[in-house]
Chain A
Amino acid sequence: MTDRRVRILVAKVGLDGHDRGAKIIARALRDAGFEVIYTGLHQTPEMVAAAAVQEDVDGVGLSILSGAHMTLFPEVLRLLKENNAGDVVVFGGGIIPPEDAQKLQEVGVKAVFTPGASTQEIASWVRENIKPRE
Chain B
Amino acid sequence: MRGQAVTSDKEQWLNTQYRAAGERDVRFSTVSDLELDPLYTPEDANLNYPEALGNPGDYPFTRGVYPSMYRGRLWTMRQFAGFGLAEDTNARFRFLLKQGQTGLSTAFDMPTLMGYDADHERAMGEVGREGVSVTSIHDMARLYDQIRLDQITTSMTVNCSASVILAMYLVVAERQGATWDSVSGTIQNDMLKEFIAQKEWICPPDPSVRIVVDMIEFCCRRAPRFHPVSISGYHIREAGSTAVQELAFTLADGVCYVEEALKRGLNVDDFAPRLSFFFNLHNDFLEEIAKLRAARRIWARLMKERFGAKRTRSMTLRTHAQTAGVALTAQQPLNNIARVAIQALAGVLGGVQSLHTNAMDETLALPTEAAATVALRTQQIIAEETGVVNTIDPLGGSYALEALTNRMESEAMAYIKRIEEMGGMIRAIELGYPQQEIAEAAFRYQRQIEDKIKTVVGVNKYTTPEEIPLPTLKIDPAVEERQVQRVRKMKRERNQRAVKDALKRVAEACRCGNNLMEPICEAVRQEATVGEICDVYRTEFGVYKDPAWI
Contact = CB atoms under 8 A, between A and B. Distances in A.
Interface residues of B, number: 45
A77 to B, nearest CB: 14
B55 interface: no
Contacts, number: 100
A108 B210 CA distance: 46
B442 A24 contact: yes
A40 B545 contact: yes
B80 interface: no
Interface stretch (A54-62, A82-90, A113-121, A124-132): A113-121
Given A15-B110, A15-B116, A36 B126 contact: no
Contacts of A24: 442-443, 446
A105 interface: no
A68 B442 contact: no
Given A97-B364, A115-B330, A15 B459 contact: no
B130 interface: yes
Interface string B443-477: 10010011000001001100000000100100100
A67 B194 CA distance: 20
Contact of B548 (A15, A38, A118): A38
Contacts of A133: none
B450 A120 contact: yes
A30 B550 contact: yes
A97 B365 contact: yes
B114 interface: yes
A33 interface: no
A97 B309 CA distance: 50
A119 B550 contact: no
A78 interface: no
Chain B residues touching A, majority SS: loop
A116 B331 contact: yes
Nearest to A70: B125
Contacts of A40: 545-548
Given A20-B240, A95-B363, A119 B450 contact: yes
Interface string A14-28: 111111100110111
Given A16-B200, A23-B442, A66 B545 contact: no
Nearest to A73: B125
B239 interface: yes
Nearest to B113: A15
A38 B550 contact: yes
A56 B499 CA distance: 46
A71 B240 contact: no
In this complex, the member of B326, B460, B547, B550 whose beta carbon has the largest number of chain A beta carbons within 10 angstroms is: B550
Given A23-B439, A41-B199, A115-B329, A97 B450 contact: no
Nearest to A43: B546
A132 B213 CA distance: 52
Interface string A38-65: 1111101000000000000000000000
A118 B125 contact: no
A72 interface: yes
Contact of B129 (A18, A19, A38, A67): A67
Contact of A44 (B122, B194, B199, B365): B122
A72 B129 CA distance: 13
Interface string B363-385: 11100000000000000000000
A102 B320 CA distance: 38
Given A15-B116, A23-B439, A27-B443, A39 B472 contact: no
B359 to A, nearest CB: 14
B458 to A, nearest CB: 8
B153 interface: no
B238 interface: yes
A23 B199 CA distance: 13
Contacts of B443: 23-24, 27-28
Contacts of A67: 125-126, 129-130, 365, 475
A119 B111 contact: no
B198 interface: yes
Contact of B363 (A19, A41, A115, A119): A115
A13 B439 CA distance: 19
B422 interface: no
A120 B116 CA distance: 38
Given A23-B442, A27-B550, A118-B450, A17 B194 contact: yes
Contact of A72 (B114, B125, B364): B125
Nearest to B472: A97
A57 to B, nearest CB: 15
B124 interface: yes
Given A39-B548, A67-B475, A95 B365 contact: yes
A71 B364 contact: no
Contacts of B456: 116
Interface string B506-550: 000000000000000000000000000000000000000111111
A23 B111 CA distance: 23
A17 B371 CA distance: 25
12 contacts: A15-B113, A15-B123, A18-B199, A23-B443, A24-B443, A24-B446, A30-B550, A42-B114, A70-B125, A71-B125, A116-B331, A119-B446
Given A15-B122, A38-B548, A40-B546, 13 more contacts: A16-B200, A17-B194, A17-B197, A17-B199, A20-B442, A24-B446, A40-B548, A44-B122, A68-B125, A70-B125, A97-B472, A115-B329, A116-B456
Question: Which 5 pairs across A and B sit closest by C-beta, in order of nearness?
Answer: A71-B125, A17-B199, A40-B548, A68-B125, A40-B546
